[in-house]
Amino acid sequence: MYRAFAMIVTLGLMLGTQALATESKSRAAMNRRQLLDCMNRQMAANKALSYNAAVKVCNDQLKVQNGQGSVTARAAPADPR
């Protein structure tokens, strides 16, 4: 009886950790997709914007959106010409 109970508990713990690992992987993939979409929008709107500048702008926007950053997100820099 004890062995069966221990087996069920162990199996439950194993399945629970698998579910948490899958959730964190999908969240990371979703954040990466959001970053790439934001960068595409930024770079399409401003052809002079560099890749690195787009990464900084979009990272700031995603941090604010996720509640991890400051309220004032960095805006895309103006054309330096």
Instruction: Note whether 38 and 51 are within 8 A (CB).
Output: no
Residue 70 counted as domain residue: no
Residue 71 counted as domain residue: no
Residue 27 counted as domain residue: yes
- Per-position DSSP letters for the chain, written without gaps between them: -HHHHHHHHHHHHHHHHHHHHHHHHHHHHHHHHHHHHHHHHHHHH-TT--HHHHHHHHHHHHHHHTT-S-SSPPPPPPP--
Q: Count the domains in the chain.
A: 1
The backbone torsions φ and ψ at residue 24, rounded to the nearest 5 degrees and listed phi first, read -70, -35
Range of the domain at 31: 2-65
More confident residue, 50 or 77: 50
Residue 75 counted as domain residue: no
Residue 59 counted as domain residue: yes
Residue 76 counted as domain residue: no
Residue 74 counted as domain residue: no
Q: What is the pLDDT of residues 15-51, one digit of tens each?
A: 666 655 555 667 778 888 999 999 999 999 999 989 9
Residue 61 counted as domain residue: yes
Torsion angle (degrees, nearest 10) of CA 56, 21, 29, 74: -20
